[in-house]
Amino acid sequence: MSLSELSSQIGIKQSNLSQSLKGNPTIGTLEAIAKCLHVKVSDLFEETDNGIKGYLEVGNEIRKINGAKDLLPIIGTFGIQTYLSPKVCKKDLKAYIKKTPSGNNDSFAGILDGIILFNIFRTKEYCEENIENYIFYLTLHKAGSSPQSLEFDCMEYSNGEGKIDYEMLLSMMWAEIVGFIDPNSDCSEYLD
Amino acid type, 30: L
Distance CA 146, CA 38 (A): 41
* Closest by CA position to 141, among listed 63, 62, 44, 65: 65
Which H or E run contains 89? helix 86-98
pLDDT the model gives residue 138: 92
pLDDT for 62: 63
* Closest by CA position to 78, among listed 52, 117, 40, 50: 117
pLDDT digits (tens, 9 = 90+) for 99-147: 877 655 578 888 888 788 888 888 887 766 667 778 899 999 887 788 8
CA dihedral of 37, 42, 44, 48, whole degrees rounded to 10: -150
pLDDT of residue 61: 63
- The per-type count for the chain, helices as H runs and strands as E runs, is 7, 7
**What does the pLDDT read at residue 12?**
87
**Alpha carbon of residue 160 to chain centroid:** 34
* pLDDT per residue of the chain (192 residues) written in tens, 0 to 9: 888 898 898 888 888 888 877 766 777 788 888 888 888 877 776 655 555 666 666 655 666 777 666 665 555 555 677 787 888 899 999 999 888 776 555 788 888 887 888 888 888 877 666 677 788 999 998 877 888 899 998 888 887 666 888 899 999 999 899 888 877 777 677 766
Buried b (16+ CB within 10 A) or exposed e, 144-153: eeeebeeebe
pLDDT the model gives residue 82: 78
Which letter, b or e, does each residue of 109-129 get, where b requires 16 or more Cβ atoms within 10 Å of its Cβ?
Answer: bbbbbbebbbbbebeeeeeee
